[in-house]
Amino acid sequence: MSTSPSFCAIDFGTSNSAVAVPDGAGTMRLVELEPGQRTMPTAVFYFTEGRHDADGPPRAFGRAAVAAYVEGHDGRLMRSMKSILGSSLIDQTTDVGGGRGAKYSDIVSGYLKRLRRLAGEPSRAVLGRPVFFVDGEPERDAAAQAQLEACARAVGFIDVQFQYEPIAAAFDFEQQAIREGRGEQIVLVADIGGGTSDFSIVRVGPERARRLARRDDILASHGVHIAGTDFDRHIELAGLLQEFGYRATGPSGRELPSGIYFDLATWHLINTCYAPLRVAEWRGMKSWFGDVRQHARLMTVLEERLGHELAARAEGAKIAVSGGADTTVDLSHVEPGLVLALSEKTAVDALRADLDRIIATAHETVAQAGLRPQQIDALYFTGGSTGLRLLVDGMAAGFPAAARVTGDRFASVATGLGLHAQRLFAAAH
């Protein structure tokens, strides 16, 4: 007779989430969150129609949420929910369609409740957290963790612990190194996901892995709130939205207001672009455009609510150029025959400032540890955005003596959090 696990580990990511639970044999396993999938997009779709049940309003989660949106169901898709933590938005109510409203905190809690149920409803959890939820603002950063803890407790977790996501990834790397017979090493963990780029310098090895207390092995942790969703936004602004009027100059010689374009390129702000007064305002601004086709395209996006689809096309274009090749973006759903070319150079130029800042943060982390780049034995890459060749190659170039190791981009953190949860809770059991 199987019993429900008493604890779990949750990687609540900006883009994707994963959960690890004890497997009954002294190790941890990743939960199948959707058929055949150990990770699930951090996404919720609120249906306009349908009745509330014991779990709340009618919703779909993960891939089913994205599919409901793509298939054109009436409702609202919520993504990048983690980016709300630490802001005043967490206590605000947002329209989710059908005359319904939902607090952002309830949206986060609803998603965590889904993860807890799939894990077997344990009462204790280790949750991953970025090194910084909010850059340079310790009070907001502490508030973000407190908000996430409150959401976790609201859905039934009694004991909630936190671990830095890049440190969790270091635990995963350590297990791989031990299996391969490697000795003690100093590893720079680069966890670059959808919302944050986090780094840790961690001393790992077979002897150290036996200890529960590992604080002394963490030589430095640092991070910056720049990552995959920022890349997507820059690609959308530079490669797509210029055909909709972004940075265009009107007959008056003035550049068009840019706020609508920045909001269209930011997942959790896209729905604000559809407010009736805002749509009406831009409908009346046709004479401001030097190219009326750009105005027509923008109005199609606003009136037909195509902002999320446009953002998805930008993300797809980023992935397509990540290996170093040019690509095209099909926007025929906006205007028949509209296909845009996106070159690697355009992508590089759009991302250069962010990539340079991320790489600089990695070197700052090494300096904080009192080390030189040549003293780093390995670079361990995890997180969805480490699929971007420009970033990985650029970072590796600064650490020529380090071995380049790529973990499971979407599951390394959850696996490491699971190892930490096992050490923490199993030892206390």
Token output for 421: 């949860």
Q: Is residue 341 scored above 90 in pLDDT?
A: yes
pLDDT at residue 2 greater than cutoff 70: no
Could you tell me the residue ranges of all domains in the chain? 7-157, 181-227+354-406, 229-350
Please report which confidence band the pLDDT of residue 51 belongs to, taking 50, 70 and 90 as the band edges: confident
Which of 186, 219, 222, 179 has the alpha carbon at shortest distance from 204?
186
User: CA angle at residue 343 from 259 to 355, to 5 degrees?
Assistant: 65
Predicted pLDDT at 260: 97
- At residue 428, the pLDDT reads 57
Among residues 16, 10, 14, which one has the least CA distance to residue 28? Answer: 10
The fourth-level CATH superfamily of domain 7-157 is ATPase, nucleotide binding domain (3.30.420.40)
Percentage, residues of the chain above pLDDT 70: 99
181-227+354-406 shares the fold of 7-157: yes
Above 70 in pLDDT, residue 218? yes
> Residues 396-414: what's their mean pLDDT?
90
Residue with tokens 């944050």: 196
> Given pLDDT bands bounded at 50, 70 and 90, which one contains residue 353?
very high
Mean of the pLDDT values across residues 292-317?
94
Q: Which residues contact 62 (CB under 8 A, 6 or more apart)?
A: 33, 34, 37, 40, 41, 43
Whether the per-residue pLDDT at 113 is higher than 60: the answer is yes
Q: What CA–CA distance (Å, rounded) separates 422 from 429?
A: 10
Please report which confidence band the pLDDT of residue 1 belongs to, taking 50, 70 and 90 as the band edges.
very low
CA distance 136 to 266: 21
- Check residue 61 and give its pLDDT: 96
- On average, the pLDDT of the chain sits at 91
Query: Residue 427: its pLDDT value, please?
Result: 59
* 256-289: pLDDT as tens digits: 999 999 999 987 788 889 999 999 999 999 999 9
Could you tell me the pLDDT band of residue 52, with boundaries at 50, 70 and 90? confident
- Among residues 279, 280, 282, which one has the least CA distance to residue 305? 279
Helix axes 165-179, 412-421, angle to 10 degrees: 90
Q: Please check the confidence at residue 344 and state whether its pLDDT lies above 60.
A: yes
pLDDT at 50: 80
Structure tokens at 158: 């009694």
pLDDT of residue 245: 97
Note whether 94 and 101 are within 8 A (CB). Answer: yes
Question: What confidence category does residue 151 fall into, taking pLDDT thresholds of 50, 70 and 90?
Answer: very high
For residue 31, what pLDDT is reported? 96
Give me the architecture of the 181-227+354-406 domain, per CATH: 2-Layer Sandwich (3.30)
pTM value is 0.81
Bridge partners, residue 56, by sequence: 53
Q: Of 174, 171, 175, 152, which Cα lies nearest the Cα of 163?
A: 171
Q: Which helix or strand (DSSP H or E) is residue 378 part of? A: strand 378-382
| Average confidence (pLDDT) over 193-199 | 87
What integer pLDDT is reported at residue 98 of this predicted model? 79
Q: Furthest-apart CA pair in the chain: how many Å?
A: 76
Q: Where are the alpha helices (DSSP H) in 322-429?
A: 344-368, 389-397, 412-421, 427-428
In this prediction, residues 389-402 reach a mean pLDDT of 91
